[in-house]
A and B are shown apart, each in its own frame.
Chain A
Amino acid sequence: AQSVTQLDSQVPVFEEAPVELRCNYSSSVSVYLFWYVQYPNQGLQLLLKYLSGSTLVKSINGFEAEFNKSQTSFHLRKPSVHISDTAEYFCAVSDLKAAGNKLTFGGGTRVLVKP
């Protein structure tokens, strides 16, 4: 069964500083990869996804993630964070050989942006 590890449960960061959130998954078979963001008292929203093609994917609000097949990683980065980026971020994997487009989530990383 697929598993996803997010190595940092909390990441405090100052405004305008860079941030990196680490994500590793267990299986080396073909996968789709996702980052979701959850703002306080809201549902999850898709931030970005890797399906195929370029290993570097970007979101509209400045986040980017790079798929590394050999290291089974999909780390999320932003060069300069804003206060509004304070949220919890979840990495998720969909195993292409599993039925139903099932997502397996990591435990989440809480990002706290300080002024």
Chain B
Amino acid sequence: EAGVAQSPRYKIIEKRQSVAFWCNPISGHATLYWYQQILGQGPKLLIQFQNNGVVDDSQLPKDRFSAERLKGVDSTLKIQPAKLEDSAVYLCASSLDHSRSGANEQFFGPGTRLTVL
């Protein structure tokens, strides 16, 4: 079974530039998550999708961050314009269906390491 795919693995940009990250979840997984992991901290949820709908985006800085999952499969996270404090690893995860009973395991991709200069 193929895992969660993310690209690019690394990205270096200057502040005020734009950047986009791509995630392809495990086939059949309805729920997709984007996390931000700042160096020395645990991952923090940015946004959660169920198919192509948003379940939770309460911690997404909407003035500069946006995300979409138009066809309910792969997803793109964008930052525009980037700030120095956006330097972090951006992790994508997927699970079967968060709405089912029990805690569906989240499977994580390798992440995209963003450096903002």
Contact = CB atoms under 8 A, between A and B. Distances in A.
Interface of A: 4, 6, 9, 32, 34, 36, 41-46, 49, 51, 90, 92, 94, 99-108
Interface residues of B, number: 27
Contact of B42 (A32, A94, A105): A105
Contact of B91 (A4, A44, A92, A107): A44
B103 A43 contact: no
Contacts of B50: 100
Interface stretch (B60-68, B78-86, B104-112): B104-112
B87 interface: no
Given A41-B110, A43-B91, A45-B108, A100 B42 contact: no
Given A100-B56, A102-B56, A46 B105 contact: yes
Nearest to A92: B42
Contacts of B43: 44, 90, 103, 105
Interface SS, B side: loop
Given A43-B4, A45-B108, 16 more contacts: A6-B42, A41-B110, A43-B3, A43-B91, A43-B109, A43-B110, A44-B91, A46-B105, A51-B103, A100-B31, A100-B50, A100-B55, A101-B98, A101-B104, A107-B41, A108-B41
A43 B43 CA distance: 11
Contacts of A104: 45
Contact of B40 (A99, A103, A107): A107
A106 B31 CA distance: 22
Given A32-B103, A49-B103, A94-B103, A107 B42 contact: yes
